[in-house]
Structure 1
């Protein structure tokens, strides 16, 4: 079969033409153009890999770092130390050849973890979006999904770009301020109570779930009635997120332990009582949990309803002192233990945390602003709605979105600080 050797500039190309090659000029030109597209991509990849080996060092060598005169550094922190992560494809339009796919090296900064491509290979820079152009798409993403957030506005970046921005984590307002760390200042006021709760969200692994935990600082807002409830509605409350974690509840406990929580209310399912000076049990959750445990004890129908009503009455009673509260609940548990051992044990364990709401002499310096987890229960409905609209989640991806979501809903001042000179939705 015929062979052709070509010399052009720094290139020497040898080709062997098979019998299937067309003999007409136009068909042969089409095949050569397609071959040139592949050749350009492969040559570019090889040249960039050789350059990376010279400037960063051999693959697998410890302590790989760019020299100062290379002009390559992390776009986030400026570090010149990096790990190899493989290659990333980039499609560019080339005159005469059309679309060419180029594989460029992809690195991870050893200092801050940012991933980046060190060489442009002559490809034009991607479109960059200012903070003012990102506000409305990201707000739509907080309410719906990445895809719908990108489709909502013509100026929006792609869904993958929104995903990348959110997964990099919310930017700090100052160098000292973390994304959503436990805020000790938010819990110092005597009229504020920390309310914590957890829920389940779908994980990326098959048939698995992540535990999502949040804590809010709650206080009366001074208007006297709830904005949505009207004159006869629930008392209005101010809420401020102080911690949010995805994973084991110990991560939330560690975050709250640094904030020195004075008063805390939980539903009894989270083991975080040791982080607060005074920990109370949600009055609404206690009879609700007892009702389900009574079914486990084979107590149903009218009998279940009667015993649940007794616990509800005991949970909401205004006791003269904590000792009287614990004694009353413990007595109920002792009487019902033979009939309903699981429900009785649950009430007995909850007695000390119901007793903290009782009157005491002298009165405690830190009172409870609320005695239920209702403020975060309503928040959990919003979180479940958002996390169920988006498929499955990694732990880091869910935690980053959680931090964005909580600040978007409850810290408008900080949110506006991230998007200056922009118009909200």
Structure 2
């Protein structure tokens, strides 16, 4: 019986390879070449199923060749795809930096290289996947030499009506454009000094919920965000409550709002403008609160009409902070502006300037009683999508250190290497 089956299958293959035109001679004529090819494929499938039915003494499925068009997914292929989709997208991003300082630095960012020599800025594990048709899960864990930190772990909706979206969990607050980004997405080795002072060395983030909506009726692309989070002071909420134990009622939650508008000015020019606001307790006294106002712009030029990968982006962020203290209100501000030129798919360069005002008798920064300035310039080389080398020079001016053992002018040279593997984490190329 096995010999007969093998002989029949051999005949089937020979007929397919040697005389395909004869097999398809009875195909239904079509007015177009595509229809003829489709009919030939259907006829071939019908012939094969008929031969298999004769060999194995089983009836061919009725209209089987016509029930599923050529290339349509079968139950087996659908099942395989479903099993594969259960595997999340996983990536690792390693960031290392070598550093040289002319004097004792005052680095405010949590990922900033602050030690002379070699620094591990972080090893990020990013995991994300759709959870059925209605939700998506995303997370980011960062490994340091001293432990592990959960930067983000939240679920987002995928199918709310009227262009609404919601998410809940631990996430970076949408305040400005830079706060919600991760280390490997930065255009510089160091965090923005303005963001580090007002929002925290790890950026503004915490457990909470957020709702957003895309408004299609507004010219361009307009979107707003509204969130409530448990944000405490330190590295993840420097201007707010000292610790999570101080959050006892709904009024102790930090509320943030953001609105942004994206407009195509022309075929080669784009503009994004955003406004942000944060309000939360600071626990320096009964019902004392902190407010932070933010405004940001991003102007981008890319010669789409001419092709090529060269582009120029100009980003500016401004923050104004008002903090209630017993008997007074402290107010300070900062501005950060940078320009990046992406020369081609491998080379890019950028410069950034920052200015931060000072106030007297600031309990968060008692020594910071004069304005501070910092300037930085970098050049980046990306051998591929998944690796990058960056050389950066910085000059930090801290006039309040004059007359002390530390120099008020600090130079820094930083060399960063980033490597990423996995489904995500690739740099823009």
Question: For this structure pair, what is the TM-score category when the shorter chain's length is used for normalisation?
Answer: under 0.3
**Larger relative strand fraction:** 2
Relative contact order, CA 8 A, sep 6+: which one is greater? 1
**Larger relative helix fraction:** 1
Q: TM-score, normalised by structure 1?
A: 0.24
